[in-house]
Amino acid sequence: MLHDQVCRAANVLKRNGIKKGDRVCIYLPMVLELAISVLACARIGAIHSVVFGGFSAQSIADRINDAQCKLVITADGSYRGNKEIPLKSTVDDALIGCPSVQKVIVLTRTRTPVAMLKGRDIWWEQELKQVTADCVAEEMDAEDVLFILYTSGSTGKPKGVVHTTGGYMVYTAYTFQNVFQYTAPVGERAPVHFCTADIGWITGHSYIVYGPLASGATSLLFEGVPTYPDAGRFWDIVDKHQVNILYTAPTAIRSLMGMGLDKVENHDLSSLQVLGSVGEPINEEAWHWYDDHIGKNRCPIVDTWWQTETGGLMISPIANVTPLKPAYASLPLPGVQPVLVDESGKEIEGNGVSGNLCIKFPWPGMIRTTYGDHERCRQTYFATYPGLYFTGDGCLRDEDGYYRITGRVDDVLNVSGHRIGTAEVENAINMHTGVVESAVVGYPHDIKGQGIYAYVITDQMPADHDADLTKRDILATVSRVIGPIAKPDKIQFVSGLPKTRSGKIMRRILRKIAEGETTNLGDITTLLDPAVVEEIASGVL
């Protein structure tokens, strides 16, 4: 059925002028048509650029323009819990500034009224009636581009990470089959793999679509949130569909942990065989809760470390093979060569050490370039430590040689497993009228892993009764510029920021204050105005 639907969707794309090498932006909810659209692009050699459904019109426009997409696939709206989210109208706003887009295919999901522009906008369902299911797959070179996926870094706008056809597909299938110990049965029901990520992120690309489907697995797509209609939703799905592999994020585990065990205990979870964790470091408490209450101490937990740029899993236990240690991504997969380096790039050898995580040798799923700007790719990943791929993560290797990822060492935040650049959030805050300057740092957050803390200077310090409203205006601005996922959790108005004499913001100090450390702030004598630190520390939220 999937093959049939993919061929039909591919013919719709062709009918609308899309050919090998053209870029197609996909902005859809987590419905089957999202996976079908992705595969339809792959079938005809078009390059997909999936944009997560929570991004704003501005973010969509930036991504469409960077890749010069010719066509957009979207839906009228989507469901999120009990809310309806408009998608087409957000795309309409984005397209005001996107001259490259010639066609918009609109799927009916919520049947909310939408504007349909003559000559540009067409309905998915009507288009499908015009095509057959015969579509020969385009012949591709292993190194032809398969997709672009935008991700945040420490500077500038998000960059388009490019993955190619052969290596990416091989690597996602290889890692899926080995790490989760997936074997395709002969003549029986294929094991059910439930990855709770959104296809808008790399985890969804690699472990909902490509890895499982290339392996013949049944991949379960879930359009919804883990807490609606109640906190038992995941366990309900596992029970109902007899899920064998569950792959989710620490944030989801932490939020469900807090909701009590009664939502877990009334479900049959005996079908589960392997549990996975991805996206951020998993704390020991969450690891044990997952192990005790979901896996019932009989399912291995694979804590998989990897990135958008790596295409697939890099450091991870292999289920039922690697001895586990809570909160450790454990050992590199066969073929992966991690090294730890110090600030000067010198390799740190031996065990019981920590440093910056790099990879020494290429692997099939590695980033090939950043779309349209190869030099940026070189600068970002290969220039910090010549001869090495730099991950941006800090890592420790314990006495047993086991790896534990400690978090980003650059100006990138990981909020609920979503990667957000501090510079991006600052730019968005600075677009709010009256804001003079801002500095954004992360702080430990019980559920999200990291929360966003913004220090903001306004042209006039808002009076108490105005401060709350101004904060809400700033949040609305960030939502409009990036999307709700980038909204700061805390905003503190300050009269100045701690800067060195050369004008560089001392983020180390701001990070400490946001973490609640107000006295032991290290050496502040090199600051232009040390007094500002006291003011900030006394007003910490």
Footprint on this chain of ligand AMP (rule: CB under 6 A)? 151, 201-202, 278-281, 303-308, 329, 391-393, 405, 408, 414, 419
**Measured from the CB atom, is 452 or 497 closer to ligand AMP?**
452
Minimum gap (Å) between residue 146 Cβ and ligand AMP: 17
Q: Are strands 47-50 and 435-445 parallel, antiparallel or unpaired?
A: unpaired
Minimum gap (Å) between residue 432 Cβ and ligand AMP: 26
Minimum gap (Å) between residue 149 Cβ and ligand AMP: 9
How many Å apart are CA 29 and CA 518, to the nearest integer?
43
Minimum gap (Å) between residue 104 Cβ and ligand AMP: 27
How many Å apart are CA 333 and CA 310, to the nearest integer?
13
244, amino acid identity: N
Minimum gap (Å) between residue 233 Cβ and ligand AMP: 23
**Measured from the CB atom, is 353 or 467 closer to ligand AMP?**
353
**Measured from the CB atom, is 112 or 384 closer to ligand AMP?**
384
CB 442 within 8 A of CB 453: yes
Q: Residue 514 belongs to what H/E stretch? A: helix 507-514
Closest among 137, 136, 133, 124 to 87, alpha carbons compared: 124
DSSP string for 294-342:
ISTT-S-EEEEB--GGG-S--B-PPTTTSPP-TT--BSBPTT--EEEE-
Give the residue carrying structure tokens 């408490």. 285
How many Å apart are CA 369 and CA 159, to the nearest integer?
10
**Measured from the CB atom, is 43 or 408 closer to ligand AMP?**
408
How many Å apart are CA 25 and CA 349, to the nearest integer?
44
**How many CB atoms lie under 10 A from the CB of residue 105?**
25
**Measured from the CB atom, is 356 or 391 closer to ligand AMP?**
391
**Measured from the CB atom, is 263 or 325 closer to ligand AMP?**
325
Q: Count CA within 13 A, CB hemisphere, residue 263.
A: 19
**Measured from the CB atom, is 226 or 311 closer to ligand AMP?**
311
Return the HEC string of 61-126. Answer: HHHHHHHCCCEEEEECEEEECCEEEECHHHHHHHHCCCCCCCEEEEECCCCCCCCCCCCCEEEHHH
SS3 assignment, position 58: helix
Minimum gap (Å) between residue 144 Cβ and ligand AMP: 23
**Measured from the CB atom, is 75 or 405 closer to ligand AMP?**
405
Minimum gap (Å) between residue 417 Cβ and ligand AMP: 7
Minimum gap (Å) between residue 527 Cβ and ligand AMP: 30
**Measured from the CB atom, is 257 or 329 closer to ligand AMP?**
329
Minimum gap (Å) between residue 286 Cβ and ligand AMP: 12
